[in-house]
Amino acid sequence: MSLRRFRPYFRYLKSVRGALVAATLAGLLYSAASGAGLPYMIDRVFPAIFANGDRASSWHLVLLIAAYIPLIFFLRGLFGYINGYFIQQAGTKILETLRVDYFAKLQVLPLSFVQRRQTGDLLSRGLADTAQLQTTLTNLANDGIKQPGTLIAALGFVGYKAYHAEGISMMLVCLAVVPLTVLPIRYFGRKLLKRAEQLQAQLGTITGHFSENLSAAREVRAFSLEARETERFREHSATLLALQLKIAKYAQAVSPAIEVIASLGIAGTLLYAYRAGIGKDDFLAVITALYMCYEPIKKMGALNNELKRGEAALSRLEVVLHEPVTITDPAAPTPVDRLRGDLGFEQVTFSYGDNPALRDVTTRIPAGTVCALVGPSGAGKTTFANLVPRFYEAGAGRVTIDGIDVRSMRLADLRRNIALVSQEPVLFNDTIFNNLLLGRAGATREEVVAAAVNAHAHEFITQFPQGYDTVVGERGGRLSGGQKQRLAIARAFLRNAPLLILDEATSALDSESEAAVQDALRKLVVGKTVLIIAHRFSTIRDASHILVFDQGRIVAQGDHASLYAGNPLYKSLYDRQQGAS
Ligand code: ADP
């Protein structure tokens, strides 16, 4: 059995100890009732009633004996039920803890971990792999104690009966093939584990494709990709099917293999019994007990397969559960309240993979500066800004605010001092009010409305029939791009952090929205240290300082006039933008 694999999770069992004890006891009673109780019935009850064809027994005795049959089945059923229910209850609770642990871990893992992986695959681990574990646990609940218990009870009965009838040699003949049954269980289990791992991975691929496809519903139609997408899905699905069939092949092979081995044991017992001249009553009881042995072995074989599938699922969850959280609070954090926003980069180098995205960057941005980051696409502007809230960790060098290394502050303290307006603001499927409140938990209704007024969002919000209580749809799907941006700006007003990171939208809004957004931004940046990731240069007019990035380095800095005159890269970027707009 591969229970060892699950040992690290036994600590979860503590909280469900009571249920487990009850389940185990019930399981043992079930085992005794079925492994020994049923053969005992055949051994004693039937001969008493049909004593050599004479109706010798008294009616009362027969009544008593007949009552034994439903009684043994009733006890078996009752204890089986208690056992299964309590184990499943414990298992489901453990699984829930595991699922929440998985989700919670995804919240704190570095951004790079989440970005490196397909969303759908992470989703599938959280849903399909936990569902597989659930099935495994259900199987374990049904058979984990009952089958081994029944086996032991039945083996005991066979041993006792065979020994009683003919002595030790009969007993040995009966039980000789039992150890052999381990061979197919192990062989198919190993085969199945490999396939189960592939199957769960393929489920991840399919979910990945699914979620990617749904998030690109517009593109699929615009580029007429319907047939191509369906074809791709069909291929993924065919691979899944092939793996499922392989698993079915191995899973279905275990029982027949055990039965064939068992039949050898029964045949051997028959031959031996014939030669030793054993009576039919004794023989019948031994054969029944032997059969009671092979049933649990078969079920344990199936359970072993199921455990292998659970093992594969667990491994996939562990990829996330065991991933180290590298961006954490320091052991002895520097206490900070509201920062001034004096930003410093000292010889900072950072790379996502092999190629550095930032190389030896040193600069200082005094508090209150509106600083535009410009440069060709891929030059490192976004990366530079992302190092400030510690979305990523500098590989070498340090990033400081007010002279304090960002790594020596508590993450919550650091991030409370930073407001972020991204180019495609993400809203949660909640009311506008609650979405704005994310800017600063605990803000009053008046403060929220004031922020919306400042962001030129109040007018359009109040035009909705439900006003601030309008639910915005998944990712804010019921709002226009300009409206979403103004809500993001309102959030930043509410947060009122000394540092502001503005990721300028790549595509222009309609001119009315654009004017409202620009005006709101102009008000928002006042008195703050602002990093504008300028994609369109439209915000550059408001910048008092400009950093020009190229291939991960800051190649020039200054104001617009001096850069335009002195830096050819800046001049060509700016001219191209002016020509385009
Ligand atoms: P910019 O904002 O100037 O367009 P970025 O900072 O986004 O540039 O990117 C800098 C470099 O880092 C580019 O070469 C880009 O391909 C790479 N890069 C950006 N984000 C990631 C990521 N999540 N994983 C791997 N490489 C990345």
Q: Is 18 a pocket residue for ligand 1 (Cβ < 6 Å)?
A: no
Q: How many CB atoms lie within 10 A of CB 496?
A: 17
Question: Is 383 touching ligand 1 by the criterion CB < 6 Å?
Answer: yes
Q: What's the mean pLDDT in 117-145?
A: 88
The string of pLDDT tens digits covering residues 311-340 is 999 999 999 999 999 888 999 999 999 999
* CB-based contact 109:325 (threshold 8 Å): yes
Band of pLDDT at residue 285, cut at 50, 70 and 90: confident
Cβ of 380 below 6 Å from ligand 1: yes
Atom of ligand 1 nearest to the CA of 385: 6
Distance 490 CA to ligand 1 centre (A): 28
| DSSP codes, 501-567 | EEE--SS---HHHHHHHHHHHHHHTTTSEEEEE-SSSTTGGG-SEEEEEETTEEEEEE-HHHHHHH-
Task: Report CA(332)–ligand 1 centroid distance (Å).
Answer: 32
pLDDT over 70, % of the chain: 96
* Mean of pLDDT values over 244-266: 90
Residue 299, token pair as written in the block: 């079920």
551 Cα–ligand 1 center, Å: 10
Residue 447 binned pLDDT confidence (cut-offs 50, 70, 90)? very high
User: Would the CB of 535 count as within 6 Å of ligand 1?
Assistant: no
Residue 412: the pLDDT is 92
For the ranges 99-113, 442-456, 508-522, the lowest mean pLDDT is seen at: 508-522
Does the C-beta of 382 come closer than 6 Å to ligand 1? yes
- Segment 449-459 mean pLDDT: 92
Q: Find the mean pLDDT for residues 277-283.
A: 79
Q: Which helix (H) or strand (E) holds 101?
A: helix 59-108
Instruction: Answer whether 357 contacts ligand 1 (Cβ < 6 A).
Output: yes
Query: What average pLDDT score do residues 375-400 get?
Result: 92
115 lines ligand 1 (CB under 6 A): yes
* Confidence band for 370, pLDDT divided at 50, 70 and 90: very high
Q: Which atom number of ligand 1 is nearest to the Cα of residue 384?
A: 6
Give the nearest ligand 1 atom to 549 CA. 3
Q: What is the DSSP string of 436-497?
A: HHTTSTT--HHHHHHHHHHTT-HHHHHHSTTGGG-B--GGGTTS-HHHHHHHHHHHHHHH--
Cβ atoms within 10 Å of 109's Cβ, excluding its own: 18
pLDDT one-digit tens code per residue, 507-543: 666 777 778 888 888 888 888 999 999 877 766 767 8
Whether the predicted pLDDT of 174 surpasses 80: no
**For range 559-566, the mean pLDDT:** 87
383 CA closest ligand 1 atom index: 6
Contacts of 26 (CB under 8 A, 6+ apart): 78, 79, 80, 81, 82, 83, 86
What's the pLDDT band for 229 if we cut at 50, 70, 90? very high
Cα(357) to centroid of ligand 1, in Å? 6
Give residue 402's region: left, alpha or beta (phi > 0; psi -120 to 50): left
Mean predicted confidence (pLDDT) in 208-218? 89
Per-residue confidence band for 403, with pLDDT thresholds at 50, 70 and 90: very high
Q: What's the 351 CA to ligand 1 centre distance in angstroms?
A: 9
Superfamily of chain region 343-580: P-loop containing nucleotide triphosphate hydrolases (3.40.50.300)
Q: What is the mean pLDDT of residues 257-279?
A: 86
Q: For residue 45, is pLDDT > 80?
A: no
- Ligand 1 pocket test: pick from 109, 352, 388 the residue with the most ligand atoms within 8 Å of its Cβ: 352
- Return residue ranges of the chain for CATH 3.40.50.300: 343-580
Residue 440 and residue 536: Cα distance in Å, rounded?
29
Residue bearing the bigger pLDDT, 41 or 100: 100
pLDDT range class, residue 418, cuts 50, 70, 90? very high
Which two tokens mark 580? 């385009």
What is the reported pLDDT for 101?
A: 92
Q: Is the CB of 378 under 6 A from ligand 1?
A: yes
Q: How high is the pLDDT of residue 314?
A: 92
Quote the CA–CA distance of 36 and 38 in Å, as a whole number.
6
Q: What percent of the chain has pLDDT over 90?
A: 43
d(CA 377, ligand 1 centre) in Å: 9
Please, what is the average pLDDT of the chain? 87
Atom of ligand 1 nearest to the CA of 353: 25
Give mean pLDDT, residues 35-40.
Answer: 76
Which atom from ligand 1 is nearest to the alpha carbon of 533? 2
Tell me the pLDDT tens digit for each residue of 486-511. Answer: 899 999 999 999 999 998 776 666 77
Pocket lining: 147 vs ligand 1, CB cutoff 6 Å:
no
CA distance 480 to 86: 52
Give residue 500's pLDDT.
Answer: 94
Give the pLDDT of residue 478.
Answer: 77
Q: Indicate the range of 120-134, 338-352, 531-545 predicted with least confidence.
A: 531-545
Q: Whose CA is nearest to atom 5 of ligand 1?
A: 380
Question: Does the pLDDT value for residue 83 go beyond 70?
Answer: yes
The dihedral built from the CA positions of residue 405, 406, 411 and 412, taken in this order, carries a sign that is positive
Distance CA 25, CA 38 (A): 19
Q: Over range 184-188, report the average pLDDT.
A: 91
CA neighbor of 115 nearest in space, from 357, 405, 363:
357
With a 6 A CB cut-off, is 15 part of the ligand 1 pocket? no
pLDDT of residue 508: 63
Fold designation for 7-321: ABC transporter transmembrane region fold (1.20.1560)
Question: Does residue 365 have a pLDDT over 60?
Answer: yes
By mean pLDDT, which of 68-72, 118-122, 189-193 is the weakest?
A: 68-72
Work out the pLDDT band at 53, boundaries 50, 70, 90.
Answer: low
Looking at the chain, which residues constitute the CATH 1.20.1560.10 domain(s)? 7-321
pLDDT at 126: 92
